[in-house]
């Protein structure tokens, strides 16, 4: 790789519909527009530390925009700054392997990195930037809870999946006169629950931002009974919690989404409804179905715009930034701004207002 | 309802995509072709006992063929021959209310009943027939495990849902190098798991008909690792069980599908894979998503053919029968034949043979 | 309707996925939040002139958000200010019936109107506003070409349909080594073609904003041949036109979308490719399939927000305005601003830039 | 390829959802079960004549079952027995190149061929068989009109696409009070129109087997108007024709589906309705959308069963046969039986009876 410029790209954290569309856009733009060579590190930061990679050319990224997952592989762990280099899975020993990662970049003659990931991966990206590595980030979270960008790719696909699930549960709820609960992702922010609930005609939406009172939930169900609607649909974000109680999840592993079993809040709500109101209630946990599958067009397009913009930003030397959507425009924002906090649903958002106006209860 | 002939129709058991298409076809045929009036009893046999019904006319059934669920409502319980007439939910008292049901039919001037249901409901249908009620049955089971018919409506919709879920899980499995398990319906017969597994490219399919050896399952996963395929997809029917073990479900409530929590076999398989092979494994329980939503065209068509044929059979006086698909033809078969046993996947079926030929393991 | 306040609502112009979600949100908000009564005029402005309407209550709008079309009916014609009151269809006589419409409003005791429509209907809305009728508009156009709002509902559903069509055409193109052309809506603006083309992996996108050179289109196809990609996918907006030529459509009927046969540009491009390059080329005209069907979640949500916001604006007395999306917020803008011009794809938009970067040709 | 046995496989005629699933099943079974080597000839019989092929191994067919089209490519022309070897496209010269094809088989050490195709390709297959080539056929036609098999793969996918299109057209028809016509494939047999029409709730279905009377069609539409249903949905097979008239298509090219423009019958029906009844009518021609895209699970499964059974039949030495579905079983039938005539919709089929019973008119 004597003279040609080169950049590396990797995907970190949980998989998300649209990752391949970003990888394709990054690779095509880097090659077509800037005459870069492109290296794809495998399995997130692990490939960077272990120097495990593939060359990305136009052929390899052809026809992948509509395919879910990531052709580069990913992992939820393997932080180079706290990398497991000994011990056992139960009792691991961690060391800082970031210099080894940077050494690999140099040996490969790469000018820098495009890092596609959520708050965990972008935190790592920022640390590399602080150590002098030219880095541009691409925001990735199905939950849509990343600060500094209006929308992340994958989110609309997840809403689509959850909304379709609600359509399915609706017919069963109505036929059997039941309460049907759908538990969706959203540990800290209720974006998926809120959007899917409005789209899918939910009667109650429970989100982390609005602690709920189970009596209010039951009142809503009973009010519907009195209107001769003998069924109700409830969407629960996994991080929803009662007003007077704890979040059902105790253990929270930082920067990780999958490993923790969050199940419980949907069941908890169901049990209380059955116990207190005596109405048959069923729970469906959507789980991994929200992450997989082909991205909806909105996400393919957003992912493509992000991928192109990230290489453009890299070429302009805007390191330590992340591409973001603001209104209808793609912009760059400092990485540090992006990772400082999660973007929660504002209580005065017009979508919450709209939801209440069409009769949806938030259990408050 | 002085002179006009009349028939009643009801839907029993768990809801199933295609029920509305049957109701529509029954109503339209009865009115258009035979000049019957049609009464729809609400919430299955409960409406028959309680004399709770609606008049079905062309307007009411217009445009419902593609809608999931049943406009008549349904319930999994309320057998008129063992009807709860006292006590408490925990300690119920049952009495035979079948005469009351028959009395209602007479008072309404109905000549007989079209009963749409699974083995439970068809058993009840047969008992009414033995008591002299003109009855024609329409087979309904998502599981496709009813004897005497080649295919039941709803089954292909459930396969479609499960197959799409596998497509979604596939991208996550591949991106994260995981084993992904999908638990689908099928307590006694593995039709959904088998069809969805072949359609969705599963590597392992576990069904009740073929008790599995967990070591064989793990061998298959490891064999794929050796071929550099670091992920595997497993479809598990809820009634699958290990060779040397019990079915995970202990309690079985007759004639009921939903009330029992069958969860467990998917988790059991996952735990053993993680423990014995140390490979990250995730479980998704498809649950109610399999029952709901709009029927696929195959099911809308089959349901329509069944509905028309049931009224034709009724008009010809072929009581005590059930409509059924044999090859490409709709025929009638004695109800008694339909309910005598479940239709399991034959071990020498060409689909199992085909599955094995393309490399799918059944864990045996 | 003695004391209660009342508002009217109508849908004008071509149907569009999401209209029912707006009607539902308007009705629910008006009744739940403001205690209005709601009248729905049938078949657009025709119902207003003819005083043909239904009362909208919570029951009537229940469960319609996911259903395409409009329960109120619509029509592309029947402008009250130029209403056909005599003559023949071939030789019609028009008179101004706006006073009659306003008289109807008064007789019904309605305070004003929520008008859901495209530039034609919003023009009429503005004229009524100028005559003193309290009016709030809701923007509706599948083409997404309405000024003063970032996105209109229905657009993302149309992109979804077109993108899925491209996925289908792709496999045929590749198997048969053909050029496949998809002609989509967009007479004056290429939004659908651009979004669907990026999402569906088109090789060439032809839009009204960028007149094309057929030789450039053929060069792109031949360049792909040289890269051993013996097929190409082209998306053509119905209003695309060659650099040196006329738009294929001659006649343009104001305020109307459907009645004119716009066919031709897809065929024209195909004929030239076959003639000049000798490559088998096929055309699919998506036509009405883009308008129908269930709205995608994005559109259900946007339509709901619009419906709620329109009633809020009405209640605040912001007449002569239209609700609009700006960034992530719903705002109101003067109707006069909304109707003054169409919103075309800016040539410097980042999506065009992104499309070019990933190798898509615009034939220029 | 010294000792190992080898077989060749090719796909002929128009592409069809499920071809890749057959190719995958053939390859996997041949390698896994029979230890054959597998050669895939490219672009149908053209690759056989030109000796243009690829080696098919497990890697190449991995993960292709759900992808539309054919990885081997196909063509509608290039009959080895009448192969264009000179002249110009306008004035071609044909010679018999079948011996050259057979010579290629021998040089490659192939024992014989699995030929996946419609009546055209199976005719060629039969001629090769008569010349001594061991051949097993796999039936392929979207139209489902091949004799000797109950169902062909691809058909249910096409019905699904057409049925979904009807769902979309329905909402526009209803909103605009229009007649909407959908023209689907089916030059000689009306299977797709019949199935899609029943599934999609059509009011009129016009198929080649039942010549129509336009007055009867209009009567049906008017009858619906009288019932206050101011819209109608008509499905027209491309080969439908009026009682007193010619089929709209004049020229018929043997063994070819695509090259002929069959357009016209949908437009013809529309024009007559507008002219005679004065009701606004719109036509959508589904065209290539019916061929493309991912096969529905039913077709993936049937295609897999066919592929496995074809190799099994080959290994058993059952040459000159075709695999076929009879009832629920896969069987083999003599090729000569399969190609002797097309399978039309029987006028006494129970699906036509069912369609009539639910009120669908066939215009007769």
Is the CATH number of domain B6-153+293-339 3.40.50.450? yes
pLDDT for residue D321: 98
Consult the annotation and say whether A14 binds a ligand. yes
Consult the annotation and say whether A356 binds a ligand. no
Pairing mode of beta strands A37-41, D6-11: unpaired
Task: Please list the active-site residues of B.
Answer: 143
Closest to C22 (Cα-Cα) out of C37, C9, C36: C9
pLDDT for residue A256: 35
pLDDT for residue B308: 98
d(C-alpha A205, C-alpha C86), whole Å = 54
CB-CB neighbors (< 8 A) of D199 in chain B:
65-66, 297, 300-301
How many CB atoms neighbour CB B219 within 10 A? Answer: 14
**A65: left (phi > 0), else alpha (psi -120 to 50), else beta?**
alpha
Q: Is A323 on the interface with C (CB under 8 A)?
A: no
Asked if residue A57 has pLDDT above 70, the reply is yes
Closest to D13 (Cα-Cα) out of D70, D56, D95: D70
- C158-291+346-357 and C6-153+293-339 share a CATH fold: yes
Q: Which residue has the tokens 């999306």?
A: C325
β-bridge mates for residue A146, sequence order: A342
Print burial letters for D115-154: b (CB count within 10 Å at least 16), e (below 16).
Answer: bbbbbbbbbbbbbbbeeebbbbbbbbbbbbbbbbbbbbbb
Q: Is D327 on the interface with B (CB under 8 A)?
A: yes
d(C-alpha A302, C-alpha A310), whole Å = 12
Q: Is B25 on the interface with D (CB under 8 A)?
A: yes
> For the segment D78-129, what is each residue's pLDDT rounded down to a tens digit?
899 999 999 887 889 999 999 999 999 999 999 999 999 999 999 999 999 9
User: DSSP states of D88-151 as a string?
Assistant: -SSSEEEE--HHHHHHHHHHTT--EEEEEE-HHHHHHHHHHHHTT--EEEEE--TT--BTT-S-
In eight-state DSSP terms, residue D203 is S
Q: Using the beta-carbon criterion (under 8 Å), do A201 and C350 form an inter-chain contact?
A: no
Polymer length in residues for chain D: 364
- Residues A124-150, mean pLDDT to the nearest whole number: 95
How many CB atoms neighbour CB C37 within 10 A? Answer: 19
Q: Is C140 on the interface with D (CB under 8 A)?
A: no
Closest to B303 (Cα-Cα) out of B134, B125, B157: B157
In eight-state DSSP terms, residue B361 is B
Are A330 and B205 in contact by the 8 Å Cβ rule? The answer is no
Q: Strand ranges (DSSP E) for A169-291?
A: 179-184, 204-206, 232-237, 281-285
> For the segment B178-225, what is each residue's pLDDT rounded down to a tens digit?
999 999 999 999 999 999 999 999 999 999 999 999 999 999 999 999
Q: Using the beta-carbon criterion (under 8 Å), do D73 and C288 form an inter-chain contact?
A: no
User: Using 50, 70 and 90 to split pLDDT, how confident is the model at A248?
Assistant: low
Are A260 and A235 in contact by the 8 Å Cβ rule? The answer is no
Q: Strand ranges (DSSP E) for chain A?
A: 6-11, 37-41, 53-56, 83-87, 92-95, 112-117, 135-139, 179-184, 204-206, 232-237, 281-285, 321-326, 329-334
Which helix (H) or strand (E) segment holds residue A100: the answer is helix A98-107
Q: Mark the binding-site residues of D for substrate, compressed into ranges.
A: 141-143, 178, 185-187, 238, 282, 288-291
Q: Which of C143, C160, C203, C299 is catalytic?
A: C143
Q: Which residue has the tokens 């209310």?
A: B97
Looking at the whole model, is its pTM more than 0.80?
A: yes
How many CB atoms neighbour CB C207 within 10 A? Answer: 28
> Which residue has better confidence, C334 or D245?
C334
Q: Using the beta-carbon criterion (under 8 Å), do D15 and C67 form an inter-chain contact?
A: no
User: Using 50, 70 and 90 to split pLDDT, how confident is the model at D77?
Assistant: confident
User: DSSP states of A298-347 as a string?
Assistant: HHHHHHHHHHHHHHHHHHTT-TTEEEEEETTEEEEEEHHHHSSSB-PPPT
CA distance B74 to chain D (A): 24
Q: Which of A15, A43, A143, A203 is catalytic?
A: A143
Q: Which two tokens stand for residue A19?
A: 């990752």
How many CB atoms neighbour CB C227 within 10 A? Answer: 11
In eight-state DSSP terms, residue C345 is P
User: Is residue C143 flagged as an active site residue?
Assistant: yes
pLDDT in tens, chain C (364 residues): 445 689 999 999 999 999 999 999 999 999 999 999 999 999 999 999 999 999 999 999 999 999 999 999 998 778 999 999 998 878 899 999 999 999 999 999 999 999 999 999 999 999 999 999 999 999 999 999 998 899 999 999 999 999 999 999 999 999 999 999 999 999 999 999 999 999 999 999 999 999 999 999 999 999 999 999 999 999 999 999 999 865 554 333 333 333 333 458 999 999 999 999 999 999 999 999 999 889 999 999 999 999 999 999 999 999 999 999 999 999 999 999 888 889 999 999 999 999 999 999 999 9
d(C-alpha C268, C-alpha C248), whole Å = 8
Q: Which residue in the set D297, D327, D357 is minimally distant from B195, CB to CB?
A: D297
Q: Which chains are within 8 Å of D by 3+ CB pairs? A: B, C
Name which of B70, B172, B277 to mutate to probe chain A: the one with the most chain A Cβ atoms within 10 A of its Cβ.
B172
Average pLDDT, chain B: 92
Nearest Cα residue in chain B from A173: B69
Asked if residue D4 has pLDDT above 80, the reply is no
d(C-alpha D51, C-alpha D104), whole Å = 6
User: DSSP states of C45-79 as a string?
Assistant: HHHHHHT-EEEE-TTTTTT-TT--S-TT---S--B
Q: Using the beta-carbon criterion (under 8 Å), do C284 and D288 form an inter-chain contact?
A: yes
Asked if residue D262 has pLDDT above 50, the reply is no
User: Using 50, 70 and 90 to split pLDDT, how confident is the model at D1?
Assistant: very low
Q: Which chains are within 8 Å of A by 3+ CB pairs? A: B, C
Nearest Cα residue in chain D from B307: D354
CB-neighbour burial class of residue B336 (10 A; exposed 0-12, middle 13-18, buried 19+): middle
d(C-alpha D55, C-alpha D30), whole Å = 13
Q: Which two tokens stand for residue C131?
A: 């005559």
How many CB atoms neighbour CB A1 within 10 A? Answer: 11
d(C-alpha B312, C-alpha B320), whole Å = 14
pLDDT for residue D338: 86
Q: Using the beta-carbon criterion (under 8 Å), do C68 and D176 form an inter-chain contact?
A: no
Q: Is D52 on the interface with C (CB under 8 A)?
A: no
Angle between helices D98-107 and D119-130 (to 10 degrees): 70
Residue C352, Cα to own-chain centre: how many angstroms? 21
Which of these ranges, B273-287, D29-43, D259-273, D311-325, has the smallest mean pLDDT?
A: D259-273
**Farthest CA pair distance, chain B:** 76
Q: Mark the binding-site residues of D for ATP, compressed into ranges.
A: 14, 77-78, 118-121
> For the segment A272-306, what is each residue's pLDDT rounded down to a tens digit?
999 999 999 999 999 999 998 899 999 999 999 99
CA distance D172 to chain B (A): 14
C 165-224 → A contacts, CB under 8 A: 167, 195-196, 198-201
Q: At a CB cut-off of 8 Å and minimum separation 6, what does A355 contact? A: A194, A197, A198, A205, A362, C304
For residue D363, give Cα distances in angstroms to B95, D220, D278. Answer: 54, 8, 18
Q: Is A149 on the interface with B (CB under 8 A)?
A: no
Which of these ranges, A102-111, B22-31, C230-239, C285-294, has the smallest mean pLDDT?
A: C285-294
CATH topology of domain B158-291+346-357: Rossmann fold (3.40.50)
CB-CB neighbors (< 8 A) of D164 in chain C:
293
CB-CB neighbors (< 8 A) of D293 in chain C:
164, 167-168, 171
User: Using 50, 70 and 90 to split pLDDT, how confident is the model at D50?
Assistant: very high
> For the segment D205-221, what is each residue's pLDDT rounded down to a tens digit?
999 999 999 999 999 99
Nearest Cα residue in chain C from A352: C305
Q: Which two tokens stand for residue C342?
A: 């169409």
Are D308 and D30 in contact by the 8 Å Cβ rule? The answer is no
Q: Using the beta-carbon criterion (under 8 Å), do B301 and D160 form an inter-chain contact?
A: no
Average pLDDT, chain A: 92
User: Using 50, 70 and 90 to split pLDDT, how confident is the model at A246?
Assistant: low
ipTM for the complex shown? 0.93
> For the segment C76-101, what is each residue's pLDDT rounded down to a tens digit?
778 999 999 998 878 899 999 999 99
3-state secondary structure of B257: coil
Q: Using the beta-carbon criterion (under 8 Å), do D351 and B326 form an inter-chain contact?
A: no
Asked if residue B244 has pLDDT above 90, the reply is no
User: Using 50, 70 and 90 to split pLDDT, how confident is the model at D251?
Assistant: very low
Q: Using the beta-carbon criterion (under 8 Å), do A357 and C327 form an inter-chain contact?
A: no
Give the angle B234-B237-B243 at the CA atoms, nearest 5°. Answer: 85
Residue C76, Cα to own-chain centre: how many angstroms? 12
> For the segment B119-145, what is each residue's pLDDT rounded down to a tens digit?
999 999 999 999 999 999 999 999 999
- Residues A112-125, mean pLDDT to the nearest whole number: 96
Q: Is B37 on the interface with A (CB under 8 A)?
A: no
Closest to B234 (Cα-Cα) out of B209, B258, B268: B268
For residue B40, give Cα distances in angstroms to A322, B172, C333, D87. Answer: 61, 46, 52, 71
Which helix (H) or strand (E) segment holds residue C99: the answer is helix C98-107
For residue B117, give Cα distances in angstroms to B15, B22, B70, D162. Answer: 9, 11, 12, 30
Which of these ranges, B337-341, D13-17, D276-280, has the smallest mean pLDDT?
A: B337-341
Print burial letters for D173-209: b (CB count within 10 Å at least 16), e (below 16).
Answer: bbbbbbbbbbbbbbbbbbbbbbbbbbbbbbbbbbbbb
In eight-state DSSP terms, residue A290 is G
Question: What are the extents of the domains in chain D?
Answer: 6-153+293-339, 158-291+346-357
Q: At a CB cut-off of 8 Å and minimum separation 6, what does C278 contact? A: none
User: Using 50, 70 and 90 to split pLDDT, how confident is the model at A338?
Assistant: confident
Q: Which residue has the tokens 């002797």?
A: D340
Cα-flanking dihedrals φ and ψ of residue D328, to 5°? Answer: -105, 5
């Amino acid at each position: 790789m004597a003279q040609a410029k080169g950049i590396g790209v990797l995907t970190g954290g949980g998989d998300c519909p649209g990752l391949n569309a970003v990888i394709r856009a990054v690779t095509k733009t880097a090659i077509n527009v800037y005459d870069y060579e492109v290296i794809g590190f495998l399995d997130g930061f692990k490939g960077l530390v272990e120097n495990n990679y593939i060359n990305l050319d136009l052929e390899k990224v052809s026809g992948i925009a509509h395919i879910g997952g990531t052709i580069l592989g990913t992992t939820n762990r393997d932080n180079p700054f706290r990398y497991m280099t000994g011990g056992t899975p139960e009792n691991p020993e961690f060391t800082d392997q970031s210099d080894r990662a940077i050494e690999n970049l140099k040996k490969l003659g790469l000018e820098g990195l495009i890092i596609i990931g959520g708050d965990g991966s972008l935190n790592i990206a920022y640390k590399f930037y602080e150590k002098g590595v030219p880095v541009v980030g691409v925001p990735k979270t199905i939950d849509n809870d990343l600060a500094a960008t209006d929308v992340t790719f994958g989110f609309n696909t997840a809403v689509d999946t959850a909304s379709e699930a609600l359509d399915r549960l609706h017919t069963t709820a109505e036929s059997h006169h039941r309460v049907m609960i759908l538990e969706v992702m959203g540990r800290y922010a209720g974006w998926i629950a809120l959007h899917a609930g409005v789209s899918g005609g939910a009667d109650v939406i429970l989100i982390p931002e609005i602690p709920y009172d189970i009596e209010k939930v039951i009142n809503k169900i009973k009010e519907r009974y009195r209107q001769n609607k003998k069924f109700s649909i409830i969407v629960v974000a996994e991080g929803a919690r009662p007003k007077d109680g704890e979040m059902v999840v105790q253990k929270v592993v930082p920067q990780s989404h999958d490993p923790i079993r969050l199940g419980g809040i949907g069941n908890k709500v169901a049990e209380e409804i059955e116990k207190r109101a005596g109405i048959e209630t069923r729970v469906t946990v959507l789980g991994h179905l929200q992450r997989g599958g082909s991205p909806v067009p909105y996400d393919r397009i957003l992912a493509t715009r992000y991928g192109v913009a990230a290489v453009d930003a890299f070429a302009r030397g805007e390191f330590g930034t992340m591409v973001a959507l603001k209104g209808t425009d793609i912009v760059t924002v400092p990485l540090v701004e992006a990772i400082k906090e999660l973007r929660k649903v504002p209580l005065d958002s017009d979508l919450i207002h709209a939801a209440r106006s069409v009769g949806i209860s938030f259990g408050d």
